[in-house]
């Protein structure tokens, strides 16, 4: 159905002007911040794949274990002839475990902001699953997008949102995103989502600040992008990576810490940093099962089923749109 050289890419990759505007908007704030979606260019996506293999980073291997143990149950919830849309598809490794179990899927629509990474993963899937129509979309899924329809008619639309990406959003923003997903799947549609759970702070902080320094390189890659793509002059040696657990509202925060008082040019502006001033680059909220169920309910979803690992580090949840 989808030969790698026949796939149609829907290209909605953010343009340079949007990248610059969003970067400046965050860095002008009294508490400087940077949109974490811009971690994921080609290099950032590769670094994140390295992070997923690190001994400290439990989420990926734990979620894969849940998928291997319960993928057949998840596929049964999604049902036959479903149109599967994945937000933040990345390498699509977990998706394979789902596609192997689905009955006659109508098609697969991976959505990712990193174009080259997306195209490579989609081409690999097209070779391995030639019977499934694959329609890659390069886009920022946090903004309104029109997801392409498959040639085959679908009995149901299901959105797959693996990993702990929902944790990057504040609770209010998570509700808004889930409400947008509700509009995509429609009444009776399914959201299959990975949700990281509350646990010991020491385990969390080590997961986001590994001994090998891969997460630090991933964090600093946003500065590399600003320099290479927007002509900024950040000195990477004058910024350090920091990850810290914030009990209220229950999240890991990743920061880049300025090691000196300095000025950095971006666009037509000079941004001033004090020594020890930080740029917050990512939130990673951790949820209780009851707390996330409440967020889902507010967004119009019923919780159908929850799968966890034996240690209850992570969960995969099936939600149905009311």
Give the pLDDT score at 290: 97
Nearest of 66, 116, 71 to residue 91 by alpha carbon: 116
Task: Say whether pLDDT at 247 is over 80.
Answer: yes
SS3 of residue 112 by DSSP:
strand
Give the pLDDT score at 3: 58
- CA–CA separation, 210 vs 54, rounded Å? 8
Q: Which of 5-14, 60-69, 146-155, 215-224 has the lowest mean pLDDT?
A: 5-14
Contact between 91 and 247 under an 8 Å Cβ cutoff? The reply is: no
Give the pLDDT score at 5: 57
Name the region of 183 (left: φ>0; alpha: ψ -120 to 50; beta: rest): alpha
Kindly report, residue by residue over 198-215, the tens digit of the pLDDT. Answer: 999 999 999 999 999 999
pLDDT (average), residues 154-159: 96
pLDDT (average), residues 162-182: 96
> Both tokens of residue 157?
């639309």
> Both tokens of residue 267?
């666009």
SS3 of residue 246 by DSSP:
strand
- CA–CA separation, 135 vs 110, rounded Å? 7
Kindly report, residue by residue over 76-126, the tens digit of the pLDDT. Answer: 999 999 999 999 887 788 999 999 999 999 999 999 988 888 999 999 999
Contact between 50 and 214 under an 8 Å Cβ cutoff? The reply is: yes
pLDDT (average), residues 35-52: 93
| Maximum separation of any 2 CA atoms in the chain, in Å | 59
- CA–CA separation, 272 vs 264, rounded Å? 7
User: How many CB atoms within 10 Å of residue 112?
Assistant: 27
Its pTM surpasses 0.85 = yes
Task: Say whether pLDDT at 145 is over 90.
Answer: no
The residues, any chain, with a CB within 8 Å of residue 184's CB and separated by 6 or more, are 85, 147, 157, 159
Task: Say whether pLDDT at 2 is over 60.
Answer: no
- CA–CA separation, 28 vs 21, rounded Å? 11
> What's the pLDDT band for 265 if we cut at 50, 70, 90?
very high
User: How many CB atoms within 10 Å of residue 110?
Assistant: 24
Domains of the chain: 4-11+55-199+288-321 (3.40.50.150)
């Amino acid at each position: 159905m989808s030969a790698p050289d026949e796939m149609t890419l829907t290209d909605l990759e953010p343009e340079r002007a949007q990248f610059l505007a969003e970067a400046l908007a965050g860095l002008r704030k009294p508490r400087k911040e940077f949109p974490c979606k811009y971690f994921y260019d080609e290099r950032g996506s590769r670094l994140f794949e390295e992070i997923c293999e690190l001994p400290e980073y439990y989420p990926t291997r734990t979620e894969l274990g849940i998928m291997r143990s319960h993928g057949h149950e998840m596929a049964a919830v999604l049902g036959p002839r479903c149109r599967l849309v994945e937000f933040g598809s990345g390498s699509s490794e977990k998706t394979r475990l789902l596609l192997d179990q689905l009955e006659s899927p109508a098609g697969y629509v991976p959505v990712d902001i990193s174009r080259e990474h997306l195209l490579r993963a989609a081409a690999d899937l097209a070779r391995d699953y030639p019977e499934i129509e694959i329609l890659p979309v390069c886009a920022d899924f946090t903004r309104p997008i029109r997801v392409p329809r498959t040639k085959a008619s679908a009995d149901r639309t299901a959105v797959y949102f693996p990993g702990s990406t929902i944790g990057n959003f504040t609770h209010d923003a998570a509700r808004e995103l889930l409400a947008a997903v509700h509009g995509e799947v429609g009444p009776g549609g399914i959201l299959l989502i990975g949700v990281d759970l509350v646990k010991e702070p020491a385990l969390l902080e080590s997961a986001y600040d590994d001994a090998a320094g891969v997460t630090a390189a991933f964090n600093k890659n946003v500065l590399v992008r600003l320099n290479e793509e927007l002509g900024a002059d950040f000195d990477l040696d004058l910024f350090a990576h920091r990850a810290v657990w914030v009990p209220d509202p229950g999240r890991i925060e990743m920061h880049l810490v300025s090691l000196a008082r300095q000025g950095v040019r971006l666009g037509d502006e000079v941004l001033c940093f004090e020594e020890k001033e930080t740029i917050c680059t990512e939130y990673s909220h951790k949820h209780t099962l009851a707390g996330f169920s409440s967020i889902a309910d507010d967004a119009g979803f019923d919780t159908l089923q929850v799968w966890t690992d034996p240690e209850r580090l992570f969960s995969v949840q099936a939600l149905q749109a009311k």
